[in-house]
């Protein structure tokens, strides 16, 4: 059913915003969430947390006037419950039927679509380069981006199309001119914002090494080769070719202090190697990834920060709230980074998680082969990113 098809509840139902819900989760409050989406949608992607109790009861269980007692028994009657769905219509209806029965309930505004609209900027205080470096965080999918600004100029690394206006507004608020929008690779889990920003007057940058995948708009943007650099005030962003996750995977060394690794290395895992070449090409890609990590990433000083393009539920944020870690810390804590090549390849191929939802269509869109409007683009990237290898098998004891 569409949200407009649900009847308006006879009782007033309070609404909670996605931002307010996240604040409560971050504060460690004990919360009960009733997710009224279908079980398959819930199992693929839902809101979780250490202090969150999540219950899945599909909305259709509440459509009959007489709700099954077994359904009501699943919902605690002695605590506040927040009901959520995909877009907010079903959750308001379900919350209303529960409120009529005496439950203490509210519902999540705009549902999981609203949750996916949360996008926060956190300063990386351990960054020691010129200027200021922010990390953008999208908790719904674990997507990360980076905004560097210095001397009145700024650059965004791995921007999301859904937040193009946000970057421009933030740059205006900071009093800086957004000069560059750089992609690390052809993403498989979200729609890139590089082309949209380029259309708005920002210089779009894609890796030269990624063009061979069939990028249709390469001649309209700047292409970055290994060793190229981009200046912002007194800061420099240097291109570092790090293939493995994809053949065009490229990292950006931000003023010698932080390596924005895209999907090559995360603070809790390494890249999965199968999204470009499939299962057949994954072993060769895994060996390419090993060489990139050992020869291009881990040869940097131990005090260099690593910042990936994603974080998972297994990731522990740093003291400043960012998903960053020193190379020395990662080598000490992640067994995969100290293995020989054969062990490494065998390990990351042994326990591959499901591929990202809609990844083939997302890749085609990012290549320019598939045109979608903003609403379609937003819908395509809903859900977990799954661009990393299994975190459990890669972490140290």
Mean pLDDT of 45-64: 92
pLDDT at 11: 81
CB 146 within 8 A of CB 260: yes
Residue 10 has pLDDT above 80, yes or no: no
How many angstroms separate the Cα of 154 from the Cα of each of 23, 179, 234, 236, 336?
Answer: 29, 6, 11, 11, 35
Q: Locate the DSSP E strands across the chain.
A: 14-16, 31-35, 52-56, 81-84, 105-108, 120-123, 132-138, 143-150, 153-157, 177-182, 203-207, 222-224, 229-232, 235-241, 250-254, 258-262, 305-308, 325-326
120-394 has CATH 3.30.590.10 classification: no
Q: Is 143 a catalytic residue?
A: no
Place 3 in a pLDDT band, splitting at 50, 70 and 90.
Answer: very low
In sequence order, what are the beta bridge partners of 82?
33, 106
Q: How far apart are CA 5 and CA 68, in angstroms?
A: 22
How many of the other CB atoms lie within 10 Å of CB of 116?
Answer: 22
Model pLDDT for residues 86-109, shown as the tens digit of each residue: 999 899 999 999 999 999 999 999
Mean pLDDT of the chain: 93
pLDDT of 8 over the 80 cut: no
Task: Report the C-alpha gap between 162 and 119 in whole angstroms.
Answer: 10
pTM for the predicted model, two decimal places: 0.93
- Beta carbons of 98 and 16 less than 8 angstroms apart: no
306 or 64: which leads in pLDDT: 306
Range among 68-72, 290-294, 387-391 with highest mean pLDDT value: 290-294
**What pLDDT score does 184 carry?**
98
Q: Please say if the pLDDT value at position 383 is more than 90.
A: no
CB of 156 closer than 8 Å to CB of 181? yes
Q: Which two tokens stand for residue 79?
A: 């605590």
CA 277 – CA 284 distance, rounded (Å): 9
Closest CA to 14 of 86, 96, 85: 96
Mean pLDDT to the nearest integer, 326-349:
96
- Predicted confidence band at 392 (pLDDT cuts at 50, 70, 90)? low
Using one digit for the tens of pLDDT, what is the confidence trace for 245-286?
A: 999 999 999 999 999 999 999 999 999 999 888 999 999 999
**Burial grade of 176 (CB within 10 A; 0-12, 13-18, 19 or more):** buried
- Domains of the chain, residue spans: 3-115, 120-394
Contact 18, 110 (CB under 8 A): yes
Catalytic one among 75, 85, 95, 178? 85
> How many beta carbons lie within 10 A of that of residue 197, not counting itself?
23
In sequence order, which ranges of the chain are alpha helices (DSSP H)? Answer: 18-26, 39-44, 69-73, 89-99, 111-115, 164-174, 194-199, 278-292, 327-333, 341-350, 359-367, 374-380, 391-394
User: Would you state the CATH architecture of domain 3-115?
Assistant: 3-Layer(aba) Sandwich (3.40)
């Amino acid at each position: 059913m569409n949200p407009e098809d649900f009847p308006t509840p006879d009782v007033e139902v309070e609404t909670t915003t996605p931002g307010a819900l996240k604040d409560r989760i971050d504060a460690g409050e004990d919360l009960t969430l009733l997710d009224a989406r279908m079980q398959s949608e819930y199992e693929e992607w839902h809101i979780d947390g250490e202090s969150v109790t999540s219950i899945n009861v599909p909305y259709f269980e509440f459509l009959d006037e007489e709700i099954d007692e077994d359904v009501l028994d699943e919902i605690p009657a002695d605590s506040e419950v927040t009901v959520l769905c995909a877009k907010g219509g079903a959750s308001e209806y379900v919350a209303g039927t529960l409120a009529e029965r005496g439950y203490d309930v509210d519902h999540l505004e705009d549902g999981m679509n609203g949750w996916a609209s949360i996008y926060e900027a956190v300063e990386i205080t351990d960054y020691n380069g010129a200027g200021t470096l922010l990390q953008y965080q999208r908790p719904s999918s674990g997507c990360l981006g980076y905004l560097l600004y210095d001397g009145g100029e700024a650059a965004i690394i791995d921007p999301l199309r859904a937040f193009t206006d946000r970057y421009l507004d933030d740059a205006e608020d900071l009093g800086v001119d957004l000069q560059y929008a750089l992609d690390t690779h052809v993403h498989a889990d979200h729609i890139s914002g590089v082309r949209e920003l380029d259309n708005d007057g920002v210089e779009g940058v894609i890796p030269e090494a990624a063009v061979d995948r069939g990028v249709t708009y390469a001649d309209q943007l700047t292409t970055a080769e290994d060793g190229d650099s981009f200046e912002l005030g007194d800061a420099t962003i240097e291109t570092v070719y790090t293939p493995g996750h994809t053949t065009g995977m490229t990292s950006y060394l931000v003023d010698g202090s932080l390596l924005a690794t895209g999907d090559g290395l995360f603070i809790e895992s390494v890249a999965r190697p199968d999204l470009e070449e499939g299962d057949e090409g994954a072993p060769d890609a895994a060996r390419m990834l090993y060489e990139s990590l050992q020869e291009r990433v881990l040869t940097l000083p131990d005090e260099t920060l690593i910042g990936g393009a994603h974080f998972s539920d297994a990731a522990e944020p740093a003291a400043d709230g960012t998903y960053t870690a020193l190379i020395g810390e990662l080598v000490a804590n992640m067994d995969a980074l100290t293995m020989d090549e054969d062990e490494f390849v065998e390990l990351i191929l042994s326990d591959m998680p499901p591929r990202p939802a809609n990844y083939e269509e997302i890749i085609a869109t990012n290549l320019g082969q598939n045109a979608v409007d903003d609403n379609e683009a937003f819908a395509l990237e809903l859900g977990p990113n799954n661009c990393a290898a299994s975190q459990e098998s890669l972490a140290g004891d």
